[in-house]
Each structure stands twice: as C-alpha cells, then as structure tokens.
Amino acid sequence: MRIVCAGPLWRGSNAGGLFRALSRQGCQIEVTDEFYFISLQTRRKLTKVFERIIRPLQTDEYNAAIVKKIDVFLPDVLFIYKGTFVRPETLEYARKKNCLLALFYPDVSMTAHGPNIPKAIPLYDLIFTTKTFGIRDMEAKYGVTSAHFIPHGFDPEIHRKIAISEKDREKFGCDVSFIGTWSPKKEAWLTVLKQKCPEINLKIWGEQWFKSKSALIKECIQNTAVLGDLYAIAIQCSKINLGLLSEQVAGSSSGDLITSRTFHIPGSTGFLLHERNEESVLYFEENKEAGFFNGPEEMAAQVKYFLNNRDIRETIQQSGYQRALRDHSLDERAKLVMSLMKAKLK
C-alpha cells in the first residue's frame, strides 16, 4: 500500500509515530509535515498577530505540498491526521486521482479546531477516531457511517525505557506528576490533591498552565511542556503518573474516557494512576496493571496508598509495561488501520 500522510512530524507527535508505524508494517509512505508549513509555536503576541495574518498563505502552501506529493508519489491512500489545515478542495483533488481518503481524528470535538475539519469530514471514505463517542457524534452531526474506533497507542521509538542520569532525577524526580495541557477540571483536581497531600512533591508539566489561579499548585507548575525523550524521562522519574482526562467541550457528547497518556505512561515504564470509567479499565487491569480512581478525593487516597506501598506499586508498574508491550503499541494500531484501508480499497 502506498500512502501520502499529512500531519505533524515533530519528535514525539502521535501523528509522526503512527506514520512510522505504518512504514514498519510495510507501507510505502511520503509525509507532508504540517509543522514545516504552519507556524504554531511562537509565544510573542506581536509574532502571533503576524502569524494570523499569514496563516491563509501558509495553509495554501501546505495544501499545495500535499497535492504535489499526490502527483509525484501516486498513492493508493491520502491519510490525514486531524486535518486542521487540510482544505476540502485538496481532498476532492485526491479523489480525482483515485486516492482513498482516510482521516485519523484524535480529539474530543470536531468543531473546536477551525472550519476545515467540519467541512471535510463528509468527504472521507474512512475515518478513524480515538473516541468511542466520536462515532456517534460524527453520525449525528455529519451523517458519517464510515467511522471506526481505534485507541491511541504508545510509540516504541519514543515511549521506552531510558537510562536516567542523576541530573534527570534532580530536574524531573517527584512523587507525583501530571503531564498535559491545563483545563479547569485538571486545575481543580490537582488543587484537591495538594490540599489532601500537602507533603507530596507534585510536578505539573504542559501548556497553558499560566491560566491556573490556584495558589496551592502554583509552585508545582513547571511552566513548560516535556516532549520526545524528555517526556519519557519525566514519566520514569515520577513515582506516580496521573491519567487525568479532559472534560466535555463544545461539539462533543462526552469528555475523554481515555487519552494518549493512557498508553504512553505504561509504554515508558511508568506507574499509571488513571481516572476510572467503563472504558479506561478495559486496557489495563485495575490493581494489577494500573491504579484507578473516581474523583479527586479518591485520587488523593490512591496517591497516599501507592506512595506508601512501593512493592505493590512497582509490581503493578512492571505488569502494566508488559501489557503495553503486548497489546498497545502504535504498531498494533497500524495493523488495524491497514486492514481497514485494504478492505476499503478492494
């Protein structure tokens, strides 16, 4: 199978990990790197203003690059990851070139990331969503009947056991960590954790935590994201890694039930303490492969328990790692993606 992939390739991105997994499974791929064309990482306000002005031009360049890859590579499939900046006209061009149009959509809402995604969704021949509720959301809003649920997985090139130095332990070592983007719910739950367990060393990594108003967790916020190898290192240097989930947002019928961290943490040999729901407990067995909790109070109680029971924690941690290796790599997800695309191509 020959595939043109479009999405971000930065080290540690879920998109790049899946593209490489497809390659390892024998696909021929060409990638148009979204971040090569679309600038999204600047922090200065003035630069952001200029970015918004030139964003349509950057989007033009990105879509033109996808079209060029189609013309040269002659793919069987155009495989879009998320597709925030992929225009419907580009998909229509690919269809004229006899490409199967496939979307891998990793987020909670289809309407929270600009106008292109809602316009493009009805054009895809095949859609993969990492949210079980995404299937019903797309059917209800767009009449989509071609959606399949495929959970995130860990990238064996990134989320792996890494030799930890003393400098790493000094910077990243802690009792408990949360790695992820700020939201009101996460701020509130971590505040409760610090209220109930004021003695713990808590570190919070990720974007947008400048929005937090909680005085209790102010000193815990590290004011930076950790990506790539540093992400795996931070996971390994934390005794407990929290799997907090995003709340429901506009355009979705549910908040997260699982997330990429659900698999990244055990894949990086970390101990996972995850929100409990009907879906999250399907992937790792409770108290054998991961810890679970309902609400912030039980989260705090579980943190105390597992910090005080190192042998139990480390046994669960090792079992979770083995389960991740066996069932939850991106290579396993790529096999399923490929089988569904092959069936559609027949």
Q: Name the pLDDT band for 72 (thresholds 50, 70, 90).
A: very high
Count: domains in the chain: 2
Q: Are 140 and 223 part of one and the same domain?
A: no
Over residues 258-311, the pLDDT tens digits come to: 999 999 999 999 999 999 999 999 999 999 999 999 999 999 999 999 999 999
Report, as an integer, the average pLDDT of 240-255.
88
Q: Are 214 and 323 part of one and the same domain?
A: yes
Q: Are 9 and 116 part of one and the same domain?
A: yes
What three-state secondary structure class fits 18?
A: helix
| Mean pLDDT for all residues in the chain | 95
| Residue 70: both structure tokens together | 């189609």
Q: How far is CA 329 from CA 110, 131, 133, 229, in A?
A: 25, 17, 22, 17
Question: What's the Rg (C-alpha) of the chain?
Answer: 21
| CA–CA separation, 117 and 111 (whole Å) | 7
124-127: Cβ within 8 A, 24+ apart? 124/80, 124/91, 125/100, 125/101, 125/344, 126/100, 126/101, 126/102, 126/340, 126/341, 126/344, 127/102, 127/103
85/112: higher pLDDT: 85
Query: Tell me, what's the pLDDT at 49?
Result: 84
Query: Tell me, what's the pLDDT at 250?
Result: 76
Q: Are 54 and 188 part of one and the same domain?
A: no
338 in a structural domain: yes
Q: Are 91 and 174 part of one and the same domain?
A: no
| CA–CA separation, 161 and 103 (whole Å) | 31
DSSP code for 314: H
The pLDDT of residue 112 is above 80: no
307 in a structural domain: yes
Report, as an integer, the average pLDDT of 115-119.
93
State which residues form the domain around 291. 166-327
The pLDDT of residue 225 is above 80: yes
Phi, psi of 181 (to 5 degrees): -75, 145
158 in a structural domain: no
Specify the pTM.
Answer: 0.94
Closest alpha carbon to 289 in 259, 312, 257, 258: 312
What contacts 198, CB < 8 A, 6 or more positions away?
none
Q: Are 323 and 333 part of one and the same domain?
A: no
Report, as an integer, the average pLDDT of 1-16.
96
| CA–CA separation, 274 and 271 (whole Å) | 10
The pLDDT of residue 163 is above 90: yes
CATH number at residue 19: 3.40.50.2000
Q: Are 333 and 316 part of one and the same domain?
A: no
Query: Tell me, what's the pLDDT at 152?
Result: 96
Q: Are 15 and 82 part of one and the same domain?
A: yes
Q: Are 36 and 48 part of one and the same domain?
A: yes
What contacts 88, CB < 8 A, 6 or more positions away?
116, 119, 120, 123
